[in-house]
Structure 1
Amino acid sequence: MRNHTPVPTPQPGRSTAPPAVRATAAASAAVVALTLAACSTPAAATPGIDDDSVKVGSHQPLTGPAAAGFSSISAATKAYFAYVNDNGGINGRTIDYVVKDDGYNPATTQSVVRELVQEDKVFAILNGLGTPTHSSVLDYLDQNGVPDLFVASGSTTWNQPDEYPGTFGFNADYVVEGAALAQYARDEDPDAVVCVLGQDDDFGETFLEGVELALGADGVASYQTYTTSSEDVTAQLGAMKEAGCEVNLLATINGFTAMALGTAAQMGWSPQWYASSSGGDYPTLVGFLGEEVGPALLEGFVSANYLQNSPGSDWYELFQQINDEYNDGAPFDGNTVYGMSVGYLFAEALAKAGDDPTRESLTEAVESGALVGNGILPLTFGADDHAAYDGVGIAVVTGGVQDFVGATYRVDGDAVAAAEPAPVPLENEGIPTP
């Protein structure tokens, strides 16, 4: 701070200021020195960080068209953080997770994310959900230097390190999922007529891109789209049935996956169904369809996944225990595994960011390649790659159980090929260490 009070020009080695002025100046200098020292401490200079805690925020569809199923994700993440906090936190800090409802509405997303950044002073945004919603705040977060970690969407938009250096995806992207599901369909039945039903945005478009990567531009007999504002897919399914579709690949959120299967059943039509992980969780779909008809309609249902979602796996059992103890006995399903997996990956990044983490050290930790996550394949994060996974496994519902069948695919450039799964082992009871 500048002192605008004029004082006599000092002589070398001697102050000409009166004693009172000299004392005031000395006191001011001491205050400035202390202030600068405090500001130089990363924990003091970085929003959302103090000696005891770190605050992160998220926008989630707790209400609206994507709420069913997806609204449970942030609760699972918060439950995992409560488990970590009860076991000493990360580098001595507890994690405070602030979640705000955006109703899956981009305009609301913009409002609540500004609140998180400007009023709540969060350290980072974690797992903001939805392609249309999160796209609306991408530039804002970049311009404000807020780490934008592990977006809950498979859009390729999040993988632009030069344009958005602080943004990282979490899901295997929709190109990867579309290509893997299409390749599995071809491997199972090379002559099947394949069609696609997709959401009328980047979700559907990039998923179709992946399907065509595996099958060629003429490999899809019919491509139909839906909008989340219309709860009717009768016309789309009628067109697909007319086209002779035998395998339907779905780029749909859970509610519209269930709607497609239910509508087809009412039409007396029984094609094979393959779905993206974003709309392929068996317990959630049974909840939509009902216990009386859901299990029968979903028998043989195929989906993609990249997390260790197999009943009996170490991660599955740990997350189930955490859910029972910290999540008020909420239903345990794939969305729970997803939410806790996100929490684990953030905790791992925070642990690697150092004892006095900054926003810069957090993003550097993700880019370092040191994170392992808890997937069925290694993470692919790096300085030039902000996507989490380049491959997925194929899961099939058999006898009411959704589990992997041993088919795993990775996408490398314009090629999709079979891969060997490499599940990450559970260590230290699921609490990351530096």
Structure 2
Amino acid sequence: MKKRDHLARIGVFVLVFLANIPSYAEDVRGVTGDTIKIGFIMDQTGPIADTSLPITAGVRNYFRWISDQGGIQGRRIKVLVEDDRYSIPMALAAFKKLVYKDKVLAILALGGTGQTKVLYHHMEKEKVPGITVGLTEDMVKPYKRYLFIPCATYEDEVKVIFKYIVEELRTKDLRLGFITMNIEYGKVGWEAAVETAESYGLKIVDKEIVNFGAADAVSQVLGLKKKNANIVILHQDIGTALVFLKSAKKLGFTGTFIGTYYVTDDTVVRIAGEAARPLIGVHSLASWHEDTPGMVKVREITLKYDPSFKEAMQNKFYTQGWITALITAEGMKKAAHNLTIEGLVDGIESLKNLDTGGITAPISYSKTSHKPGNYCKMYRSDVPNKKMIPTSGWLRPKE
């Protein structure tokens, strides 16, 4: 009798335990017994494909490697990529497909700054965790339960540039210029520059715009020359930065050019050549060629899968895709047997001082902050070797 009672208690315990384990086939969107589906939205064929294709490759290769190491709790990760052609309507259509048809657990990249701002309402409504490529403060302030960024923001980079100008360059008769684009990304950088200049008691003497598709930047260079700008902050994308640098060289415009996120990349030096010689920059991610433990591992794994990995993909955008996937995977590992939508969010929030081997500064999130830190490094162009090489350790903006 006692034996039967004991067995009955065990049976009840097992039933209660099993009832509290998610039925992945039915209850958790994007998770089955052997697969985890992760969505990805970004331009594949449009105006920023030169930056988004390496990001896509970084995400795919990291998840492939994780899957080959045994996956997450034995589950392989399947990445479903949607092309939004850098368009908000197409990003919204892609989001709906991934959530309602493909039923993914989370979505990465989310198109860009403008796309993410539109998509977040839908992410919150449908409880879709995501890590965006839109690196602006308003992605994470105020706190948004389902949205993360993978590294420091554009605003952080602008602030570090000003700190560098004031504390390191100490240029006499400083006359600051600023060149950007008439898109959300450009507006964010400009606002940060104006605010930070004021905090240092500085003035920006000229602002110029170079937009997608511009054939040259002659008028913009002439505008900067007219105002005698001797340091110019380039808050642009790769294409418009190349247009500016080539026009500056052609017109003999000398000075110091300091690039932010998209400009501080080997791609710019490789294509611009001698026109990139005055270029220095700031970035929160390591370059393909850096010899930190993390980047050595990135190269080893990537070249194992693709021995002829294209030089055009060997850039910081590939690093961005890699670190985005790494953060997602680490969050899923933290969730462990509670790999649900909320479990993934809690898992990423629990990451503290995550050592990436120098791919980024150590990463920390919390239940009140979905920004992993504000550290960046300074770089300068190495034209003969077609690289941007680091010239500092990890720096943070002035408090």
Measured against the shorter chain, the TM-score band is 0.7 to 0.9
* Equivalent position amino acid for 1:243 in 2: K
**Is the 2:280–2:380 Cα contact (8 Å) retained in structure 1?**
yes
- Residue of structure 2 aligned with 1:205, choices 180, 184, 187: 187
**Is the 2:277–2:381 Cα contact (8 Å) retained in structure 1?**
yes
1:286 deviates by 4.0
What corresponds to 2:6 in structure 1? none
- Residue of structure 1 aligned with 2:237, choices 234, 239, 253: 253
Indicate how the Cα distance of structure 1 residues 46 and 318 shifts in structure 2: closer, same or farther if over 3 A, else same: same
1:206 deviates by 2.5
What corresponds to 1:175 in structure 2? 155
Give the whole-Å Cα distance in 1 for the aligned partners of 2:348 and 2:217: 40
1:199 deviates by 2.1
Give the whole-Å Cα distance in 1 for the aligned partners of 2:370 and 2:240: 29
What corresponds to 2:305 in structure 1? 326
CA RMSD of aligned residues (A): 2.5
Give the whole-Å Cα distance in 1 for the aligned partners of 2:335 and 2:140: 21
What corresponds to 2:29 in structure 1? 47
Alignment of 1:56-75 (within 5 A): 56-75=38-57
Indicate how the Cα distance of structure 1 residues 376 and 112 shifts in structure 2: closer, same or farther if over 3 A, else same: closer
**Is the 2:212–2:239 Cα contact (8 Å) retained in structure 1?**
no
Asked whether 1:113 is paired with 2:98, we answer no
What corresponds to 1:145 in structure 2? 127
Indicate how the Cα distance of structure 1 residues 64 and 373 shifts in structure 2: closer, same or farther if over 3 A, else same: farther
Q: Which moved more, 1:174-183 or 1:204-213?
A: 204-213
**Is the 1:380–1:390 Cα contact (8 Å) retained in structure 2?**
no
**Is the 1:82–1:326 Cα contact (8 Å) retained in structure 2?**
no
Asked whether 1:129 is paired with 2:105, we answer no
Asked whether 1:266 is paired with 2:246, we answer no
What corresponds to 1:11 in structure 2? none
* Equivalent position amino acid for 2:300 in 1: Q
Indicate how the Cα distance of structure 1 residues 171 and 203 shifts in structure 2: closer, same or farther if over 3 A, else same: farther
* Equivalent position amino acid for 2:155 in 1: V
Larger Rg: 1
**Is the 1:148–1:167 Cα contact (8 Å) retained in structure 2?**
yes
Indicate how the Cα distance of structure 1 residues 40 and 317 shifts in structure 2: closer, same or farther if over 3 A, else same: closer
Describe the SS at the equivalent of 1:262. Answer: helix
Q: Which moved more, 1:256-265 or 1:296-305?
A: 296-305
**Deviations, residues 41-81 of structure 1 (Å, cap 9, x unaligned):** 35631110011111111111111111113222101210121
TM-score for both structures, normalised by structure 2: 0.86
**Is the 1:60–1:129 Cα contact (8 Å) retained in structure 2?**
yes
* Equivalent position amino acid for 1:316 in 2: M
What corresponds to 1:93 in structure 2? 75
Describe the SS at the equivalent of 2:391. Answer: strand
**Deviations, residues 204-244 of structure 1 (Å, cap 9, x unaligned):** 23323333444327421112233336555333332222111
Give the whole-Å Cα distance in 2 for the aligned partners of 1:173 and 1:406: 18
- Residue of structure 1 aligned with 2:395, choices 384, 396, 409: 409
Number of aligned residue pairs:
372
1:108 deviates by 0.9
Give the whole-Å Cα distance in 2 for the aligned partners of 1:286 and 1:336: 16
Asked whether 1:367 is paired with 2:353, we answer no
What corresponds to 1:20 in structure 2? none
1:279 deviates by 2.8
* Equivalent position amino acid for 2:156 in 1: V
Describe the SS at the equivalent of 1:74. Answer: helix
Give the whole-Å Cα distance in 1 for the aligned partners of 2:279 and 2:316: 15
**Deviations, residues 389-422 of structure 1 (Å, cap 9, x unaligned):** 21211111234342221254313xxxx16xxxxx
- Residue of structure 2 aligned with 1:303, choices 247, 256, 281: 281
What corresponds to 2:291 in structure 1? 312
Indicate how the Cα distance of structure 1 residues 330 and 388 shifts in structure 2: closer, same or farther if over 3 A, else same: same
What corresponds to 1:235 in structure 2? 219
**Is the 1:153–1:170 Cα contact (8 Å) retained in structure 2?**
no
Q: Which runs of 5+ in 1 are unaligned?
A: 1-32, 418-434
**Is the 2:327–2:348 Cα contact (8 Å) retained in structure 1?**
no
Give the whole-Å Cα distance in 2 for the aligned partners of 1:49 and 1:64: 31
% of aligned pairs identical? 20
Give the whole-Å Cα distance in 2 for the aligned partners of 1:351 and 1:371: 16
What corresponds to 2:331 in structure 1? 349
* Equivalent position amino acid for 2:389 in 1: D
Describe the SS at the equivalent of 2:336. Answer: coil
What corresponds to 1:339 in structure 2? 321
Indicate how the Cα distance of structure 1 residues 227 and 298 shifts in structure 2: closer, same or farther if over 3 A, else same: closer
**Is the 2:355–2:361 Cα contact (8 Å) retained in structure 1?**
no
1:356 deviates by 3.5
Give the whole-Å Cα distance in 1 for the aligned partners of 2:87 and 2:194: 30
Indicate how the Cα distance of structure 1 residues 373 and 123 shifts in structure 2: closer, same or farther if over 3 A, else same: farther
* Equivalent position amino acid for 1:402 in 2: M
Q: Which runs of 5+ in 2 are unaligned?
A: 1-14
1:360 deviates by 0.3
Describe the SS at the equivalent of 1:303. Answer: strand
1:260 deviates by 1.1
Describe the SS at the equivalent of 2:156. Answer: helix
